[in-house]
A and B are shown apart, each in its own frame.
Chain A
Amino acid sequence: MSPMQKKIRWLHVNLFAKPADALLTLVVVPLLLWAVWAFLSWALTAADWSVVFNSLKVLMTGTFPSSKLWLVWIVAGMIAALAGLATSASIPFGRTAAVIAVLCYLVLVLAIFGAAHIAPQALLVLAAFHAAWLIGLRVPVLRENLAPIAFGTLIAVLVILSPVGPSNWGGLLLSILITLTAALLTIPLGILLAFGRQSKIASLRALCTGYIEVMRSVPLILVVFCIWVAFPLVLPKFPIPDVVRGLIGFTLFYSAYAAEFIRSGLQSVAKGQTEAAESLGLSDFDLKRIVILPQALRVAVPGLVGNILDIFNYAPLVFIIGLTDFLRAGQMILANPENSARTYEIYVFMFLTYFVVGSIITFQARRLEQKLNKGVRK
């Protein structure tokens, strides 16, 4: 078959196999083309993207003091490096990745002429990502110890940003900090809750079950709000910043969901595994830590990643306790009468940002899942 024939055959099979398919294709494809054309013609001619460009600082960091923005760049580099290392655990650096990397660097180099105040820093952040990816591929010790490295990075990030004061954290920075913190803390908490729910000690079991069920039956926004209100009542002497209270609310809420994903993972581990480990004389702790938990987490990964995506996508709800995350920052920009005509530009930009981050998370999760399943059959 010639390449041309192959293409025709592909079209035939995928788009025109049956009369109904052909009809659907003839309706859907022109509609899609029209939508794309309409969007592009608006985006390239009518739209004025300077509003996004001029508000980048607010969108990305909220009220973060401009003189301290270099701290944010350092943090961005660290998070990028962490993401690169995480990528190296499941994705080799192939030709597609190289092409995408070169394109990104080209765009950023060209951008230096138009936006010299941010393009070089962005270039370095991207370089941190790629460097960590490549180093992770060559040094297995690093990517195998991703969890402690991630915790170390999180602590370092919070320490670096703390002099500025949590009340000044905002924009996409805040959304990512909430996601990173909650994602990292919910997993160990979820593990403890899941084991607690299966414990032989009745009081512990009741406590964990109760906690999980209560958290799962109330709305996130209520938990975040309650935590925010409760802290000053319980600890009037120690004022805790709004951001920290928000982080605690998200962590407490989503650890219940993480616990349920991990519990379903624990239940999927065959009973024979426990029996074999017991027969070897392993202690209960070793049995759970070395034999059961790694197998359970493999099963729980898709759910846990979905959880992280949920945290990211629900982070805008922190506006209820007065915080300015990415979405809220966009609305604040639009509240300025000068920008009132630029609603679409801002929302399209936020839409694309959420879409890009979200799809990167799901793409990596899928690759991780494939890798975990490979070579491991019970």
Chain B
Amino acid sequence: MKAAQGEPIVQINQLNKFYGNFHVLKEVDLTVTRGEVLVIVGASGSGKSTLIRCVNGLEEYQSGTLEVDGFLMPRAEEREFGEVKGLREIRRGVGMVFQQFNLFPHMTVLQNITLGPMRVRRKSRAEAEENAMRLLDRVGLRDQALKYPGALSGGQQQRVAIARSLAMEPHLMLFDEPTSALDPEMVGEVLDVMRELAREGMTMMIVTHEMGFAREVGDRVIYVDQGRITESGTPAEFFDNPKNERTRTFLSRVLKH
């Protein structure tokens, strides 16, 4: 396993998020360094998905600061008044993979992957398609390029979704429970692709329930409980010697089966 090192790419400071009166994220402090694989675990409803959705601005936050790639993410109030510059810059460098894949069903696999590079990065079709084919090769789906997402299995769709994000050449990849909607026999193929990405040095923030994967691939694991980060450590520390009582209860529940 490689060491977590290098300069910070994500810096979150005293971040607070509310849904109306409900305090979802509470004074969150978190730094992710370049090349690091950070795994976020926690019970459902703890705020772990909300946390990584804040990182690319799919969720707004009310106070604190959130900086990605040196760009400051505008707060909810600033966004209401049309301040979106930081948001746009951040999204250009951050890829996101969703639990439900969210491929565009009316476009072929190839069109799904080339859309971003062509419309956002203004690449030529030829260049975008060539790169897309290379990415499809990498996720083992070269022969599916002209199919529609509906014709693919869940695992295949998720690998296309990963390729679609990678096509934007992100500095940071966010994974929001990427295997939770998959049939068990398809989880492995998606985790393999993610493992490969980690090996190549991609910075990743992963929300997952795959504890074996977290232990194997993660550089650091954090536990989110009721909107706070209550535990943080290397996989070895986290799984073998958790400091917090609630982490221990959680681990005993999820590791039992």
Interfacial residues, chain A to chain B (CB-CB below 8 A): 270, 272-273, 275-283, 286, 290-291, 294-295, 298, 375-378
Given contacts A281-B91, A282-B115, contact A376 B100 (CB under 8 A): no
Give A67 Cβ to nearest chain B Cβ, in Å. Answer: 50
User: 1/0 per residue B167-211: CB within 8 Å of A?
Assistant: 010000000000000000000000000000000000000000000
Show 5 residue pairs from A and B whose CB-CB distance is below 8 angstroms, ordered by the A residue: A272-B100, A278-B91, A280-B168, A376-B150, A378-B105
Whether A279 contacts B58 by the Cβ 8 Å rule is: yes
Closest chain A residue to B111, Cβ basis: A290
Whether B105 contacts A279 by the Cβ 8 Å rule is: no
**Interface SS, A side:** helix
Please tell me the size bucket of the interface on B.
20 to 34
Closest chain A residue to B91, Cβ basis: A281
Whether A295 contacts B106 by the Cβ 8 Å rule is: yes
Whether A281 contacts B168 by the Cβ 8 Å rule is: yes
- Judged by a CB distance under 8 angstroms, whether B213 is at the interface is no
Closest chain B residue to A372, Cβ basis: B106
4 shortest interchain CB distances as A-B pairs: A276-B102, A377-B150, A280-B116, A272-B102
Interfacial residues, chain B to chain A (CB-CB below 8 A): 56-58, 88, 91-92, 94-96, 98, 100, 102-106, 115-116, 119-120, 148, 150-151, 161, 164-165, 168
Docked pose: A290 CA to B168 CA in angstroms: 17
Give A275 Cβ to nearest chain B Cβ, in Å. Answer: 5
Docked pose: A279 CA to B176 CA in angstroms: 13
Docked pose: A280 CA to B102 CA in angstroms: 12
Whether B105 contacts A295 by the Cβ 8 Å rule is: yes
Docked pose: A273 CA to B149 CA in angstroms: 13
Contact of A275 among B58, B106, B116, B119 (CB under 8 A): B58
Given contacts A280-B164, A281-B88, A375-B150, contact A298 B96 (CB under 8 A): no
Contact of B102 among A275, A298, A376 (CB under 8 A): A275
Contact of B119 among A273, A278, A286, A376 (CB under 8 A): A286
Give B227 Cβ to nearest chain A Cβ, in Å. Answer: 21
Whether B98 contacts A276 by the Cβ 8 Å rule is: yes
Whether A279 contacts B106 by the Cβ 8 Å rule is: no
Whether A375 contacts B103 by the Cβ 8 Å rule is: no
Given contacts A275-B58, A275-B98, A378-B150, contact A282 B105 (CB under 8 A): no
Q: Which of A278, A283, A378 has the most CB of B within 10 A?
A: A378
Docked pose: A275 CA to B102 CA in angstroms: 8
Whether A290 contacts B115 by the Cβ 8 Å rule is: yes
Beyond A272-B102, A276-B103, A376-B150, 8 additional contacts (C-beta under 8 Å) are A272-B98, A278-B58, A279-B96, A280-B120, A280-B168, A282-B120, A298-B106, A376-B148
Give B14 Cβ to nearest chain A Cβ, in Å. Answer: 25
